[in-house]
């Protein structure tokens, strides 16, 4: 497998190797992966609670919108009307 590492990260890796923290780039990458990823790696899913909170927020927003009074006249929401007189 080949991965691309940014020049900034390569500089940090090389500095760590030069200071003796790691023996090689390969050793550094393997050590960092093993230290920072759980074993086994769980699939990335949104927690149920977060999904419930998002669904509740959407429901509240829809209810708020439904309870706003309607407008029965033309509303000019063009960029020109919004920023009119602001130094363009």
Burial 40-70 (b: 16+ CB within 10 A, else e): eeeeeeeeeeeeeeeeeeeeeeeeeeeeeee
Q: Domain map of the chain by residue range?
A: 7-36
Query: How does pLDDT run across 3-60, given as a tens digit for each residue?
Result: 888 999 999 989 999 999 999 989 998 998 888 887 776 776 767 788 889 999 999 9
Is 65 or 86 the better-scoring residue by pLDDT? Answer: 65
If you average pLDDT over residues 61-84, what whole number do you get? 92
- What's the pTM? 0.41
């Amino acid at each position: 497998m080949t991965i691309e590492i940014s020049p900034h990260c390569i500089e940090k890796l090389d500095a760590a190797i030069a200071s003796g923290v790691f023996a090689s780039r390969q050793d550094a990458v393997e050590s960092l992966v093993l230290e920072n990823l759980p074993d086994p790696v769980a699939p990335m899913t949104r927690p149920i609670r977060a999904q419930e909170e998002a669904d509740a927020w959407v429901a509240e927003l829809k209810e708020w919108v439904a309870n706003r009074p309607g407008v029965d006249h033309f509303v000019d929401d063009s960029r020109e009307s919004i920023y009119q007189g602001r130094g363009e």
